[in-house]
Structure 1
Amino acid sequence: MTDVDYYEILDVRPTATAAEIKAAYHRAVRSAHPDAGGTAGMFRLVTDAYRTLSDPQARAAYDAGAGRPRPGRPGPGDPGPDTAPAPEPSWGDEVRWEAGGTAEPGRAGRASETASDHAEHAPTWSERWVRTPRGLAAVRWGGWVTAALFVLLTAVLFLLPGWVRPTAAGADVLGSLLDHRAVLTIVVVVYAVAAVFGFLGLLWLPVTLLHVCVLVLVVLGWPLAYWGLAETWERLAFAGVAVVWIVYAAAMTAVPLWQSARFRLDQAT
């Protein structure tokens, strides 16, 4: 039976939820890590506490008394109140990592485990960036800007089709799509639904691949098919539409990643 209180180590109540335990672990591990001025022993206690309390079965057994101390009621085989418990070797050692130091026998495995745990919780580039003022502004306004660009592109398709396809191009697939408003409406609505799921991260990869394919058609296909047929103003208009599409596609790719990084940070804190 252990003589430490895992709830006290993580500074949470015994009724804490799984999310509260996870957030408390992230707070505790930052201060307990040897690189942050903590000790290897305290880092091990924090890790053991989280592994026990984050597992429903292990936590239930711990709460039932299999691992949690009960003052005044020693369990079978526990030492009596007048008998000092024998300390576990190296349990809670006040060992700090020093540059150029040599690990003592038996501690190499724990040091490797500590380093891997620290690397697992190290923030990614996107998580570091969303903490900056620019990152916060991008997460806050990115969704609105993306929606505004989508509305602008949709308006061009329905109201200014000549900006997308020259009038002298004759009959082709793109012309048939632009001329049949019912079919164009269905295509736009289906894409809008997929784009919403992509923005939420559920269909991020398929929507991103779709944007890449459209970008290839915009950059390579349009000049090959329509450049010689388009007038100067039609070329300039399409160039403007292409720039808006590129910005929109980039936002549809980046903003969901930034929002996901911000969500992970919020969960960690």
Structure 2
Amino acid sequence: VVAFVFLTGAPWWLNSDLGELKINYKLNQVIFFVFISSILIVTLIIACLVGYYQYTTKKRKKEKLEKKERELTKREKDLERTYAIKHRLHMITHEIRDQIVDVRSDKNKYPNIKLISQALCEKVKLYFSESIDCKDISIGVAIRIARKNTQNCKTEYVTVGRAGLSPGRDRGSVPLLSDEGLAKILQHDKGSQGMLVIYSLQKAIDAFVYTKQPNDTNFPDDIKSMMVAPINGWDGQQKRMLGILFVTSRRENTFGKKYTDSVGFIADALANLYSALVLP
């Protein structure tokens, strides 16, 4: 009977809403599928957002930690460099003190000024090389000491020590006259505040502040800028410029105001030594 009913179609007594039920059933299936899919998509989006948030949070934390480590490393390096600079400065004053003690105690009755000056130039060079901390800059140092010219009885300044400069400069070195160029300015120019910072040697030559020397022609790349400070001592009657300290660079505009105190301090310390060495 059942087979007959289904084979011959719906009889008059069967509810005519059966087709609508099938349609509603299919519609409900579609709605259910869309609902489940929406939940899955929303869940997936939330999971992606949570995962992205966790990833970015971890990344930020890692970057902060790395930044702190870099800052700590930089601070440590800065501290190490500061200690190294102070150590270099201490070594200069240590050497000066030892030399003064030797002279005063007659351990060194006939001191070799050139050997002493050479050792000090090396230490001053190391100090400023550490202070400036630029690998592409070559620092040079020279010390000139006053002497009387036996022919004209004028004071002139001769080089007694140098470091970081071309070895051949010895052959072409000439005295600086006390009444010319830098020596004259250092002795008489109150506006110089006791020292000079020359940002460009060529400009200083053009302005007649610096008198060009044979070595400036022979070794044009040796010196492009410099700091110059007088080594002043007391001769028993008045202050006298015993010598001149030069700190040079192979690059222009290397030096500035922040280095002038160091140059002045070293020049004053050297004055104590050269007072003991050259003054009667």
Q: What TM-score, normalized by structure 1, do the two folds share?
A: 0.25
Q: Give 1 or 2: higher strand fraction.
A: 2
Q: Relative contact order (C-alpha < 8 Å, sep 6+): which is higher? A: 1
Larger Rg: 2
Q: Give 1 or 2: higher helix fraction.
A: 1
Q: What TM-score, normalized by structure 2, do the two folds share?
A: 0.24
